[in-house]
Amino acid sequence: MKTGQQYEDSLRKMKFKVYLQGELVENPVDHPIIRPSMNSVKATYDLAEDPQYEALMTATSHLTGKKINRFCHLHQSTEDLINKVKMQRLLGQKTAACFQRCVGMDAINAVDSTTFEMDKKLGTNYHERFNKFLLQMQEEDWTVDGAMTDPKGDRGLSPSKQADPDLFLHVVEKRKDGIVVRGAKAHQTGAINSHWILIMPTISMGHDDADYAVSFAAPADAEGIFYIYGRQSCDTRKLEGGNIDVGNKQFGGHEALMVFDNVFIPWENVFMCGEYEFSGMLVERFAGYHRQSYGGCKVGVGDVLIGAAALAADYNGAHKASHVKDKLIEMMHLNETLYACGIACSAEGHKTASGNYLIDLLLANVCKQNITRFPYEIARLAEDIAGGLMVTMPSEKDLHHPVIGKVVEKYFKGVAAVATEDRMRILRLIENITLGTAAVGYRTESMHGAGSPQAQRIMIARQGNLEQKKKLAKAIAGIDH
């Protein structure tokens, strides 16, 4: 397993082509806007080295029997599924941000069972190829970006019917030694902090879309791949050199557009190529795993936000007010409900044909459906408790100004025993999680990450077995036809 420093050193050896605010970034690792997101991934390595967290952060490889980072693991039991959610909550608590390795973990588990079943039916050898990739991932302790979402273009048209064929990533050439792909993947979490990328189709495909039914692995800095870094609210505060106004100085997350400009992929790294009838299975299983993930990571960040709101109440002198106490109770109730869903879909998981474990898909989709709602209410209550000063107070430069600093110190004081700077810090943290750079990993991502709300509702309708429920009602009512 890598240490955090070894992980950072490994990124420095890579040759990423990253554009940020119209400029090519020479050193992504140390860029002040990108660096906090790298720190979040680095935490997944550091915590795995801490004996206190070993049970959650590590697992035993089913391939080698060695101890590995859990993010490189295929779930071998419902206990593994539960420990995954507990690990994600821990990391959310430690970073208050998106730590980015979940998509790769969810991707390898989905690709494993799908390739196994595809080979069994079609006689292909994708699973053997995938196992070789997985073995190397575990041995090298890679961070892998699971890449599913395409730009999609006109949502009313299938991939092959788009005016621009590149709006869904697709195979443009097949050679004896591999394939050439072109297109893009959007909203790619942690892509620039990853060693490899694992591509999957974004929707269930039909016969006409066979060229778009493709899954493969590639180095994140492969020839022909480049990135356009996504903007986040308040992101340029990281360029100011302070440590109050950013809210969370150390940690963050990022998203990027990943562009494939005629990228060559050798056959040994291809895990689906035209087998469109299995694209739906892969999408459904990855989405299920990733919707389970949100019952851990969002809950951990929620723990930090609830703590920050409680501190804001303390610093404002409002902690004894009954309505403030009730709001904090409601925040905890909503947060623990999300966690309960993550644990429930894990405990109800089952073994797949390949041997790894899949969560209960219905409960995973219920988990994510709640995630599209509850964090918004938790954020609203946090903003309510914090007060309007969260979005109207002056900057830390004003606080430290030789002339007006004393004025800021005087008039933004809350409880006399609490330093004005501490009050400002906690309010900035709440702002960061609910409105700032962390919002991409908490509030807005809660809506659209792992599929927007309607995607879960479709799966709930499919998995909910309404006809069986009708039979139950008929039996109780005495209807025998």
Write the pLDDT tens digit of every residue in 303-322.
Answer: 999 999 999 999 999 999 99
Q: Give the architecture (CATH level 2) of 4-279.
A: Beta Barrel (2.40)
What ranges in 348-388 are assigned the alpha helix state H?
A: 361-371, 374-386
**Residue 410 reports pLDDT greater than 90:** yes
- Average the pLDDT over each of 9-23, 380-394, 396-410, 435-449 and give the range with the smallest value: 435-449
- Extract the tokens encoding 68: 């590995």
R_g of the chain computed on alpha carbons: 23
Residue 427 confidence (pLDDT): 98
pLDDT, position 352: 98
pLDDT for position 441: 86
CA distances from 147 to 72, 257, 258 (A): 16, 10, 9
Per-residue pLDDT of 265-296, as tens digits, reads: 999 999 999 999 999 999 999 999 999 999 99
For range 245-261, the mean pLDDT: 97
Q: Which amino acids are annotated catalytic?
A: 98, 102, 189, 255, 290, 294, 297, 445
83-93 pLDDT per residue, tens = 999 999 999 99
Compute the distance between CA of residue 54 and CA of residue 87 in angstroms, rounded to an integer. Answer: 10
Contacts of 330 (CB under 8 A, 6+ apart): 377, 381
Which tens digit of pLDDT belongs to each residue from 63-104?
999 999 999 999 999 999 999 999 999 999 999 999 999 999
| Residue that wins the pLDDT comparison between 465 and 440 | 465
What does the pLDDT read at residue 51? 98
Instruction: Give domain 281-467's CATH architecture.
Output: Up-down Bundle (1.20)
Joined tokens for residue 81: 């599924």
Mean pLDDT in residue range 198-218: 98
3-state SS, residue 254: coil
C-alpha 83/C-alpha 89 separation (Å) is 10
Coil, strand or helix: which one is 63?
coil
pLDDT at 465 over 90: yes
User: Does 435 have pLDDT greater than 90?
Assistant: yes
Per-residue burial over 97-115, b if 16 or more Cβ lie within 10 Å, else e, is bbbbbbbbbbbbbbbbbbb
Average pLDDT of span 369-382? 98
DSSP H helices, 96-190, are 102-122, 126-140
The DSSP call for residue 232 is -
Pairing of strands 178-185, 256-266: antiparallel
For residue 294, what is the enclosing H or E element? helix 279-316
Q: What is the pLDDT of residues 136-146, one digit of tens each?
A: 999 999 999 99
Query: What distance in Å separates the CA atoms of residue 7 and residue 213, rounded to the nearest whole number?
Result: 32
Q: 23-37: buried (b, 16+ CB within 10 Å) or exposed (e) per residue? A: eebeebbebebbbbb
Say whether pLDDT at 345 is over 90: yes
Question: In degrees rounded to 5, what are phi and psi of residue 357?
Answer: -105, 140
Task: State the average pLDDT for the chain.
Answer: 97
For 159, which DSSP code?
Answer: G
Percent of the chain with pLDDT over 90: 98
CATH 1.20.140.10 occupies which residues in the chain?
281-467
- Could you say which DSSP state residue 75 is in? P
Please say whether the beta carbons of 284 and 459 come within 8 A: yes
Q: Are strands 196-199 and 144-147 parallel, antiparallel or unpaired?
A: parallel
374 pLDDT tier (thresholds 50, 70, 90)? very high
SS3 content of the chain, % helix, strand, coil (to 5): 55, 15, 30
Asked if 411 contacts 465 with a C-beta cutoff of 8 angstroms, the reply is: no
Kindly state the tokens that stand for 87: 């690990």
Q: Tell me, what's the pLDDT at 440?
A: 83
Decide the pairing of beta strands 67-69 and 144-147.
Answer: unpaired
Q: Residues 460-479: what's their mean pLDDT?
A: 97
Cβ contact 428:311 at 8 Å: no
Residue 332 confidence class, pLDDT cut points 50, 70, 90: very high
| Model confidence at 439: pLDDT above 90 | no
Residue range 222-235, pLDDT digits in tens? 999 999 999 999 99
Which segments of the chain belong to CATH 2.40.110.10? 4-279
pTM: 0.97
- Residue 116: pLDDT band (50, 70, 90) is very high
pLDDT tens, 145-203? 999 999 999 999 999 999 999 999 999 999 999 999 999 999 999 999 999 999 999 99
Residue 302 reports pLDDT greater than 90 = yes
C-beta separation of 213 from 205 below 8 A:
yes
